[in-house]
């Protein structure tokens, strides 16, 4: 194991936790989680990683994907995300916990620390290489009592249920039926949930017939194997601009093949952001109001070829209707060129309905502006719930659940 000369791992660990709390990205705090992260040695679960890397606030790959164009198969999650998701989970002493996505075993060790001697932790992964690594790391570090099972996490582990807490450390597109069956009423589920091209760590409280969120935070996770409900393809002949959408959306890609060559409409608002201010809440607002919300990505060559730059070329929200498209955009304002830069938000539309779509994006920018940190409520219902029993909001259908996103 590599170390920094003269620097103890305990010092690095405390510095990492101090930095997470100081930056306070999520706004979530819990003394028990803080103590757990100061106690459990992350570097011990990453024996092939330099200690300074183990205590950097970033993810660490533990199993690469043989496909060069694909994401890794397993990672140790970024520590600040680990922190706020554990706060969302609100573990109590004695809880019975199920984790989907075993990873290094570090998160399971934190869960065991939180639930104490009287609690139980079961972690699972579909990949036997990953679970073998997890088992070895947990045993090496004194967590022999944590269960490790090799199976599809969507199936849960009914043998050890019901669970008081369930947490997924892989991106989920659906909430499997088995989770409903195995999570006790009154229990909590924290899951990186994907919808309309975005990903959020959603903390659900399990009620008798629904799961209702009380915390929705930005995150990014490797997608779970076996849930392929998100579609994607290029919309230009040069393969520079790609669209991502959900299978429940009526998007005909053939109608969009030449959309970026059609007349362009640009609409700006008077809403501005600084260089480090997040405007991601606009996307959430769109997902709660516009059924056609999806995601667009553009390679640098697309802007060089004349595409109006999306707000974030790597991932920006977009609206699509028939043969028209619009997406979120920003540009630096001309005010006070010597001061801190400000950027105004707007939208760019292409096609016959592009101007209307751009104005609809601007409407959600204005709705977001006075309440920038407001979070939607995500309510999950069983897939057979009739429309009449759903709360008001945007309905997103999945094989196992009906999601309602509302402000």
Q: Which of 218, 243, 276 is the last residue of a domain?
A: 218
Per-residue pLDDT at 61? 76
pLDDT in tens, the chain (407 residues): 454 454 799 999 999 999 999 887 667 889 999 999 999 999 999 998 899 999 998 878 765 445 544 444 457 778 999 999 999 999 999 999 999 999 899 999 999 999 999 999 999 999 999 999 999 999 999 999 999 999 999 999 999 999 999 999 988 899 999 999 999 999 999 999 999 999 999 999 999 999 999 999 987 655 555 556 788 999 999 999 999 999 989 899 999 999 999 989 999 999 999 988 899 999 999 999 999 999 999 999 999 999 999 999 999 999 999 999 999 999 998 766 677 889 999 999 999 999 999 999 999 999 999 999 999 999 999 999 999 999 999 999 999 999 999 99
pLDDT in tens, 85-119: 999 999 999 999 999 999 899 999 999 999 999 99
User: Helix axis angle, 79-89 relative to 31-39, nearest 10°?
Assistant: 140
Checking DSSP bridges between strand 377-382 and strand 293-298, what pairing results, if any?
unpaired
Domain co-membership, 198 together with 247: no
Residue keyed to tokens 């595409």: 307
**Whole-angstrom distance, CA of residue 127 vs CA of residue 130:** 5
Domain co-membership, 143 together with 183: yes
Q: Which of 190, 218, 246 is the last residue of a domain?
A: 218
Within a domain: residue 73? yes
Within a domain: residue 3? no
* Cβ pair 196, 293 in contact under 8 A: yes
Q: What domain range is 120 assigned to?
A: 9-218
pTM of the model: 0.88
Domain co-membership, 213 together with 240: no
Domain co-membership, 47 together with 194: yes
**Whole-angstrom distance, CA of residue 22 vs CA of residue 298:** 34
Catalytically active residues, by annotation = 77
Q: Which of 159, 190, 218 is the last residue of a domain?
A: 218
Within a domain: residue 259? yes
Domain co-membership, 87 together with 165: yes
Per-residue pLDDT at 65? 47
Within a domain: residue 407? no
Within a domain: residue 401? no
- Nearest CA among 336, 315, 325, 318 for reference residue 272: 336
Within a domain: residue 383? no
Please give the DSSP secondary-structure letter assigned to residue 223.
B
Report the number of distinct structural domains present in the chain.
2
Please give the DSSP secondary-structure letter assigned to residue 171.
B
Q: Which helix (H) or strand (E) segment is 130 a member of?
A: helix 128-140
Question: CB-based contacts of 249: which residues, under 8 Å, 6+ apart?
Answer: 291, 292, 294, 320
């Amino acid at each position: 194991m590599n170390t920094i000369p003269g620097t103890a791992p305990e010092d690095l660990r405390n510095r990492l936790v101090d930095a997470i709390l100081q930056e306070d990205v999520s706004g979530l705090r819990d003394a028990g989680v803080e103590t757990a992260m100061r106690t459990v040695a992350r570097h011990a679960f990453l024996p092939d990683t330099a200690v300074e890397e183990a205590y950097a606030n970033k993810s660490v790959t533990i199993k690469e994907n043989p496909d060069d164009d694909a994401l890794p198969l397993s990672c140790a999650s970024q520590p600040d995300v680990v922190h706020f998701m554990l706060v969302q989970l609100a573990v109590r002493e004695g809880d019975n916990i199920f984790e989907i996505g075993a990873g290094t075993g570090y998160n399971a060790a934190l869960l065991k620390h939180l639930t104490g001697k009287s609690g139980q932790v079961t972690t699972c992964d579909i990949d036997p290489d990953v679970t073998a690594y997890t088992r070895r790391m947990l045993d090496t570090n004194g967590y022999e009592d944590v269960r490790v099972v090799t199976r599809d996490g969507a199936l849960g582990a009914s043998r050890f249920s019901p669970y008081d807490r369930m947490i997924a450390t892989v991106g989920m597109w659906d909430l499997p039926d088995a989770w409903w069956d195995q999570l006790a009423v009154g229990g909590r589920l924290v899951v990186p949930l994907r919808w309309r091209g975005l990903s959020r760590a959603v903390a659900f409280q399990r009620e008798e017939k629904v799961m209702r969120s009380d915390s929705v935070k930005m995150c990014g996770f490797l997608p779970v194997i076996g849930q392929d409900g998100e579609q994607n393809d290029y919309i230009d002949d040069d393969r520079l601009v790609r669209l991502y959408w959900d299978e429940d959306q009526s998007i005909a890609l053939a109608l969009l093949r030449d959309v970026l060559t059609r007349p362009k409409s640009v609409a700006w608002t008077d809403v501005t952001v600084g260089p480090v201010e997040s405007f991601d809440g606009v996307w959430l607002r769109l997902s709660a109001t516009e059924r056609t919300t999806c995601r667009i990505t553009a390679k640098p060559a697309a802007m060089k070829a004349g595409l109006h730059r999306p707000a974030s070329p790597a991932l920006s929200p977009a609206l699509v209707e028939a043969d028209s498209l619009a997406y979120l955009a920003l540009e630096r304002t001309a005010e006070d060129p010597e001061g801190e830069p400000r950027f105004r938000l707007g939208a760019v539309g292409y096609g016959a309905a592009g101007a209307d779509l751009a104005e609809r994006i601007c409407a959600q920018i204005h709705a977001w502006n006075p309440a920038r940190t407001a979070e939607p409520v995500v309510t999950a219902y069983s897939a057979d719930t009739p429309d009449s029993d759903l709360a008001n909001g945007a309905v997103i259908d999945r094989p196992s659940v009906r999601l309602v996103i509302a402000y």
